[in-house]
Chains A and B, each alone.
Chain A
Amino acid sequence: MGDGHVVYEIREVTKRFPGAERPANDDISLTIEQGEFFGMLGSNGAGKTTLIKQMVGLLRSDSGSIRLFGKDVLADPVFTSMRVSYMPQTAFALNSLKASEALYVTAHLRGLGRREARRRRDELIERLDIGGMRDKVVRRMSGGERRLLQLAVALVADLPVLILDEPTNELDPARRRMVWDLLRELNHEQGQTIVLITHNALEAEQVIERVGILREGRLVAVGRPAELKSGLAKTLSVHLTLRDGTTAELPDYLEVQSRHRGKVVAQVSRTDVARLTSDLDLDEFLEFRLQSKTLEEVYFEYGN
């Protein structure tokens, strides 16, 4: 959890693009503390990327203010760029370079000397296991390779704040796990403040400490995942898989959400859990799973 020192103080930020029906960000207020791992969830077009672009100083808000370590992010762009490392969502800028060159060049542009830039380049290539694409030109890389390189480029300068826009998109499961482990390590061991946008709420739940959910430009929920889940925790999810050829009778207090090829997903009130386990003959089922709300379900609840 954060250490009480405020990194970002966002106050009543509104941003509207010309010709748009509604603001991309509408009166958003939020505080992010030093050392926090903050996740932003929301459907496409909810305004997440617009908000973090303002936090990095790439877009000017129509109203409100964004302060980084107490300073307006736009007042001194160099102050912001020397403290915040940003990994954008879209395609990569250094497309004509090889992976190793892109890392070295970015380190150099961030002010590292030649020897230090080379050291960081080699360290990240090893840490992210991207040695195989070291001499590959960026524009010839696959989406996943490019994504990893983008992340490496964002990490090259070791700045106190990391802002990542969908860092695990297009990555295979093994590499996604490696990235989450790395981010957890940077946050826990090096104390870096991390703000990230992701659509992968289930994986993000393992690492993020606080989450903000945006819907149609508004911040509709913010808090620790457990807090947000507890607000919706009047029911639990029940996942049942019937044995072939059987048709189990389900109690009427079970609210069935879907039933397909022997798989049943239902909701049960917390107060009915005890009698559910006694009312059902568990031998009739291949699988019986009771699950509290996940962050993904919280996201569905608030974000849609």
Chain B
Amino acid sequence: MWTLFLVQLSNWRWSWPGMVVTGMVAPVLTLAAMGVFAKESGGQAVHQVFVGSLTLALLFETQNKVANNFAFMKFNDAFDFYAALPVRPQALIVATAGAFTLLALPALVCTTLFGVLILGLKVSLSPLVVPVVLAVVLPFVGIGAWIGSRAKNPEEAGSLSVLCVLAMVSLGPVAVPAHLLPDFMVWIGWVNPAFYASSLLRQVFFGPIDGATAGYSGVLLGCLLLMWVLTSKRIAGFGGAAGS
């Protein structure tokens, strides 16, 4: 597991330029641009723009990167390579999740620091920040693994994943507070994991931690389990011994 984790961590060698653009520059620009308007709509809107930008950074750095990584592995026969070794597919998924979570941290820290500076925020960070970030990130990794393992080719995985990131940030109260959205958008948000992710991030950065925190975490855990089952089935036997 540790060796696989290190192998997946080595993806920083190619992924860091992308991390700077999609994990740092894009979220910071988003929060800078939207923050201008959000300040006129009150503190809640500013908080929402901030956590929405964090969600965007995490989606790009986990879901999008994992989708690309899995699609690349699938079409370079990496799954066959690992399947020919005494390695379990689940170990590869866990190692991937761990590595890409770690690789997402610079983007998270950078967006947080710039967000606080640009928007002039006062944060009261909860000690629950670590488990909450994990609860947010792991379902994103799962969705990325599922997209990457299903895509017909890496190009399709990249396009689908970016579309998915943009849809998840746009649909529902993720970067825009619920009271500024039409009702149907708010309703759509209830089936969007990014809504629960941004809500949890808002709670750990600005409070309050309450019953909703557990509820939102539960929904994300359910999403994670669903993605685990779907992706494990998809790559069971890696190269397809189980399925084809």
Contact = CB atoms under 8 A, between A and B. Distances in A.
Interface of A: 17, 53, 56-60, 74, 77-78, 81-82, 84-86, 88, 90-97, 101, 105-106, 108-111, 137, 139
A93 B87 CA distance: 14
Given A58-B238, A59-B239, A81 B86 contact: yes
A82, A96, A105, A110: most-surrounded residue (chain B CB, <10 A): A96
A94 B7 CA distance: 8
Contact of B14 (A81, A85, A86, A139): A139
A93 B81 contact: yes
B82 interface: yes
A109 B3 contact: yes
Nearest to B69: A96
Nearest to A58: B239
A137 B13 contact: yes
Nearest to B73: A93
A59 B77 CA distance: 13
Contacts of A92: 76, 81
Contacts of B86: 77-78, 81-82, 109-111
A58 B6 contact: no
A84 B11 CA distance: 28
B13 A96 contact: yes
A213 B95 CA distance: 41
B10, B73, B87: most-surrounded residue (chain A CB, <10 A): B10
B241 A60 contact: yes
Given A109-B3, A109-B4, A109-B87, A58 B80 contact: yes
A58 B240 contact: yes
A92 B86 CA distance: 18
A53 B80 contact: yes
A88 B77 contact: yes
Contacts of A53: 80, 239
Contacts of B78: 93-94
Contact of A93 (B14, B77, B240): B77
B106 interface: no
Contact of A77 (B7, B80, B241): B241
Contacts of B4: 109
Given A78-B86, A92-B76, 11 more contacts: A57-B84, A58-B238, A81-B84, A82-B86, A88-B80, A92-B81, A97-B10, A101-B10, A109-B4, A111-B86, A137-B13
B76 A105 contact: no
Interface in B1-24: 3-4, 6-7, 10-11, 13-14
B81 to A, nearest CB: 4
A157 to B, nearest CB: 9
A93 B75 CA distance: 10
A59 B240 CA distance: 6
B76 A95 contact: yes
B241 A59 contact: yes
Contact of A59 (B11, B13, B81, B244): B244
Contacts of B243: 60
B79 to A, nearest CB: 8
B130 interface: no
A139 B243 CA distance: 30
B177 interface: no
Contacts of A139: 14
A48 to B, nearest CB: 15
A53 B80 CA distance: 9
B104 to A, nearest CB: 17
A88 B85 CA distance: 12
Given A56-B84, A58-B240, A58-B241, A93 B3 contact: no
17 contacts: A17-B244, A57-B84, A57-B241, A59-B240, A59-B241, A60-B237, A60-B242, A74-B241, A81-B83, A88-B80, A93-B81, A94-B78, A109-B3, A109-B85, A110-B85, A111-B86, A137-B13
A57 B82 CA distance: 12
A108 B241 contact: no
B81 A88 contact: yes
Nearest to A101: B10
Contacts of B81: 88, 92-94
B244 A60 contact: yes
